[in-house]
Structure 1
Amino acid sequence: MPKFGSWDEVVAFALTLPGTELSKSWGSPAVKVAANGRAFLYTGREPDSFVLAIDQDSKLILLETDPDTYWQTPHYEGWDGVLVRFASDDPERVAAMIERARDEAAAKKPPRTRK
């Protein structure tokens, strides 16, 4: 069973998934899909949590079914991402959601580059 007590443990798990790499997003550490550069894990702004890039429907279900693990601040409202507490009582579900976020990111086109 995976353990997610810190950012380093989340990253270690995410890097076992196919085609992932440690990178940066907005100047902060993130895990991306190497083939298209899409990030699916971010360090975020909140202590004791990380950000998982996930679709709005999944986000709403996670917020409703496990608010002790999945939460948001006004900064993340309306964005395809949810805060995840490291101290989750259900690390297997967290692992499954990380895998799902990776799969969603892998299915997207590369992000636009800024000029």
Structure 2
Amino acid sequence: MSLDWDMVVAIAAALPGAEITTYYGDPAVKANGRPIVTPGREPGSFVLHIDLDTKAMLMETDPATFWETPHYHGWPGVLVRYATDDPDRVTALIARSHAWALARKAPRKR
């Protein structure tokens, strides 16, 4: 099964405290004011906001699904291809991103 943006949003938005909103003018799902998922700059992918250690592990263990371009290098977000062989893993990682967002201090209001 291949994912799409609407499915990713539905998965993320169903998590407790998650809200559909924007991030730098693009659609996003956030929790605690922190992004969980945002659309990617690359066709066929979205951005999963996740800690750098998890990002590195994902890109090493499944580079066909989890990847980055120079734009995302060193930043806590990994590109995720919709055409994954393991949508259940992606769903679990969206929940992990949600937990990470809730555990972090909310961003300051500007």
**Bucket of the pairwise TM-score, normalised by the shorter protein:** over 0.9
| Percent identical | 57
Letter in 2 for 1:71: W
Residue 4 of structure 2 is matched in structure 1 by: 6
Q: SS state of the match for residue 62, structure 1?
A: helix
Letter in 2 for 1:56: L
Choose which of 15, 22, 29 in structure 2 pairs with 1:17: 15
1:92 aligns with 2:85: no
> Which residues of 2 match residues 35-114 of structure 1 at below 5 A?
36-114=32-110
Please report the RMSD computed on the Cα atoms of aligned residues, expressed in angstroms.
1.1
Which 5+ residue runs of structure 1 have no aligned equivalent? Answer: none
Instruction: Give the count of matched residue pairs.
Output: 110
1:71–1:83: 8 Å Cα contact kept in structure 2?
yes
1:28 aligns with 2:26: yes
Which 5+ residue runs of structure 2 have no aligned equivalent? Answer: none
Q: Which has the higher strand share?
A: 2
Which aligned runs of 4 or more in structure 1 are off by greater than 2 angstroms?
Answer: none
TM-score norm. by structure 2 comes to: 0.95
